[in-house]
Amino acid sequence: MGKNLAETINKITRDHIFKNNGYVVGQCLSAVGWVQNTVPNIKKNIVELPMTETAGAGFAVGMAIANARPIFILRFQSFLWLNSSPLIMHAAKTKELFNYSSPIFIRAIASEGFGSGPLHTNCYHSPFAHMPGMPICAPMTPNEYKSIWNNFMKNNDPLLVSEHRRSYKSSIEFKNLVHHRSKISFFAISATRFNIELAQSKLKKIGVDVDIFHLVWLKPFKIKKEYIESLNKTRIGIVLDSSYEICSISENIACSLMLKTNAKVYVQGMKDFSPGTSQKLENMTPTSQQIFDFAAKLLNKR
């Protein structure tokens, strides 16, 4: 096993600081083990702000305009709402409206469970896809992260990186799964990619083979030939996500896939309610059992 994702992000960040004179800006970066060991424990070019500070996004966008290519870190992805104005009202628009770029690497970290409650939890990449000029990706593996970082460094666009804490200790690399006789096609985003593996094993035990596609780039989303071939074979698809189902990227992807195929494509993600702090009130990434139950229900209908 190679380096896990946290170690990979840490090395990318360290190299960016010392080789590119890059900057890191974020809230409480030294807390909780330097953001789960994804930020190097150094002083050079690290701008640490209080958790209550919302001006940091503006500082980071200013650095981006000056071509410092900052990494802007939000320890809780829910804080995207509080920091969004400079990101979507300026960084996303500068190239189109003013002909200059704002290359800012936005690390928005999703978390869930453990009594996190309604304000410090969940995954919110979907609302920000509505803004032109803001590409969005959700890497969950070391090689995926290296790839999206290289993409960022080769381009002058801002990039919203939807991370998930569950991925940091993982060093696995996901591979798509395709069977000749599959009965359902899964398109997995964010932390659902970990749960679909176990759900697939449960479905196989009842004689159901499935196709699994791991999605990293959410915007732009490119429909690949193998997606179309899989759905034309199975006629049923499910887009899985750690974000809310309603008005989501996953719904947009499902619609795009349906328009290109003869399949019905459904969505499974967080339900439409704010999570509470007790376990029974949690609203999280669909579990492997929930994915299994939903797939079995769709197959029984057919």
In a domain, 176, yes or no: no
Q: How many CB atoms lie within 10 A of CB 54?
A: 16
- pTM of the entire predicted model: 0.95
Domain tally, the chain: 2
Residues 245, 171: Cα–Cα separation, whole Å: 28
Is 173 a member of any domain?
no
* pLDDT score of 32: 78
Residues 160 and 217 in one domain: no
pLDDT score recorded for residue 25: 97
Q: How does pLDDT run across 216-244, given as a tens digit for each residue?
A: 999 999 999 999 999 999 999 999 999 99
Confidence of residue 302 (pLDDT cuts 50, 70, 90): low
- Indicate if 158 and 190 belong to the same structural domain: no
State both tokens at 15: 């190299």
Rounded-to-integer distance, Cα 203 and Cα 195, Å? 13
Instruction: Give helix then strand counts, H and E, for the chain.
Output: 10, 11
Query: Quick one: 30 and 138 in the same domain?
Result: yes
* Model pLDDT, residue 172: 95
Give pLDDT tens digits for 145-197: 999 999 999 999 999 999 999 999 999 999 999 999 999 999 999 999 999 99
Q: Which domain, by its residues, includes 290?
A: 184-301
Q: How high is the pLDDT of residue 279?
A: 81
Edge-first strand listing for the sheet containing 236-244 = 210-214, 184-188, 236-244, 264-270
The lowest-confidence range among 117-121, 131-135, 276-280 is 117-121
| Per-residue model confidence as pLDDT tens digits over 9-61 | 999 999 999 999 999 999 999 987 899 999 999 999 999 998 878 899 999 99
How many other CB atoms are there within 10 angstroms of residue 39's CB atom? 24
Q: pLDDT tens for residues 243-294? A: 999 999 999 999 999 999 989 999 999 999 888 888 888 889 999 999 999 9
pLDDT tens digit string along 67-100? 999 999 999 898 899 899 999 999 999 999 999 9
CATH of the domain at 161: 3.40.50.970
Q: Report yes or no on 214 lying in a domain.
A: yes
Same domain as 157, residue 189: no
**How far, in Å, CA of 104 to CA of 123, rounded?**
20
Q: What is the CATH number of the domain that holds 237?
A: 3.40.50.920
